[in-house]
Structure 1
């Protein structure tokens, strides 16, 4: 399906001059398109994304069902290859990487927070937090455990490193996941509906932790969400529609985000693709 990796590599590395890239960006997409299938039956999930996100920023991505949010996250995080275009993370071009290189990059330079927490039940809380560091090649045991203890304290779980995930509430498990995502000091943390399985109060606490990671630890967070209250914690909200960036808002209230989302969902206002897609 789609282009072979060698074909993609040639197109992606030849069509974008190096000087066009923003060396200060944590995430940069240029001309990113993703199609599934071929010919008239092809599904165009992304139709041309141009975007630059600065280091130390918090970006929320919203959009109606089928707008391309999940595909955007997968391509930006190196979990899927675009059909056309280029992606850079922390200044590194990733679209020409092979699978081994992408795996190494994800382990050492990216963090992930998922709706389902994705903790390993057989490991302790501390071991779950340390897992990305160990997979990335590890550091000395003392340094790793010190880092894990600092992060667990920061997310409100001091002294709980010896517990198993099943002994924790859902909100506590997501706190562990946030500590795990930050342990390698990644270039970018990608969060996919991180509050989708949480009640409103717990969700607000988790979002405050992501906000704190940006403000205090200078992390870069890119979060896909359907929740305007979650998006209101971000520095900016990107709205996708039909595989394009249709609009964007600077940090706004929950009501303002919800109102803008409603215009895309109901189609009461035209897409702002030309203005919103500028990087």
Structure 2
């Protein structure tokens, strides 16, 4: 497969004339397997809408989104929910762990929601992939922010998804912890072949990606391969100045 996800001429409009708001404009993008792509742009540029449409959380007004060979437009709500559960992982800035559950219980939650009884081995494997095999019985309040985010990543990994969508995954972390999490995400791409799409505002985080997609006013304004923090920051400054 040449691409894990493809967006073809995707547009998203909120509301109706004369009060409509255009969130995405004719966006065409492909995300290949075993890649980490960063999505950046000024506030209001469409980053969150792009992630929501690509992940099947929202339906585009125009265009198509395909994951593998599945066109999301052809799925009813039940089938779309099943696809998100089985083939998509999510990581958020706020971790979204249940405080009363241990790390292993949080990781196993997507499997339980799918009607499966989680196997201890698969949960341990997911925790081991993020370096937390020894924290399985700890609750979120007993772990640092970085450890909690790694539990959240293990939870995203446990279903063996085709793609992980990460929305500002280092936004709540300090610089050192952010680097550790980003290094781990990079390792998942290189050693596991995971596809990751990461929305971020941080040029340092974007430098861990294979490519950066820059959005402005709902459209793709630029792309950058082999990014460095300085070049990413310069492109962002130019976009913010022109908006």
Normalization by structure 1: what TM-score?
A: 0.84
Partner of 2:172: 197
Q: 1:49 aligns with which of 8, 27, 36?
A: 27
Structure-1 separation of matches of 2:237 and 2:51:
22
Partner of 1:26: 4
Partner of 1:188: 163
| Greater RCO (Cα-Cα under 8 Å, separation 6 or more) | 2
Cα distance, 1:153 vs structure 2: 2.0
Cα-to-partner distance string for 1:15-69 (whole Å, 9 max, x where unaligned): xxxxxxxx52111011100000111211000011111111111100000001000
Cα distance, 1:135 vs structure 2: 2.1
Cα distance, 1:152 vs structure 2: 1.4
| SS class of match (1:121) | coil
- Counting only pairs closer than 5 Å after superposition, residues 1-279 of structure 1 correspond to structure 2 as 23-138=1-116, 141=118, 144-267=119-242
Structure-2 separation of matches of 1:196 and 1:36:
27
Matched positions, count: 243
Aligned-pair Cα RMSD in Å? 1.3
Moved more, 187-196 or 158-167: 158-167
Structure-1 separation of matches of 2:56 and 2:123:
26
Normalization by structure 2: what TM-score?
A: 0.97
Moved more, 100-109 or 147-156: 147-156
Structure-2 separation of matches of 1:217 and 1:256:
28
| SS class of match (1:39) | coil
Q: Which of the two has higher C-alpha Rg?
A: 1
Q: Would you say the 8 A contact 1:78–1:95 is kept in 2?
A: no
Cα distance, 1:163 vs structure 2: 1.1
| SS class of match (1:25) | coil
Q: Would you say the 8 A contact 1:31–1:50 is kept in 2?
A: yes
Structure-2 separation of matches of 1:176 and 1:30:
33
| SS class of match (2:4) | strand
Moved more, 95-104 or 196-205: 95-104
Q: Would you say the 8 A contact 1:24–1:91 is kept in 2?
A: no
Unaligned runs of 5+ in 1: 1-22, 269-279
Structure-1 separation of matches of 2:36 and 2:115:
28
Structure-2 separation of matches of 1:172 and 1:206:
9
Cα distance, 1:201 vs structure 2: 0.4
Unaligned runs of 5+ in 2: none
Moved more, 127-136 or 85-94: 127-136
Cα distance, 1:217 vs structure 2: 0.7
Cα distance, 1:253 vs structure 2: 1.1
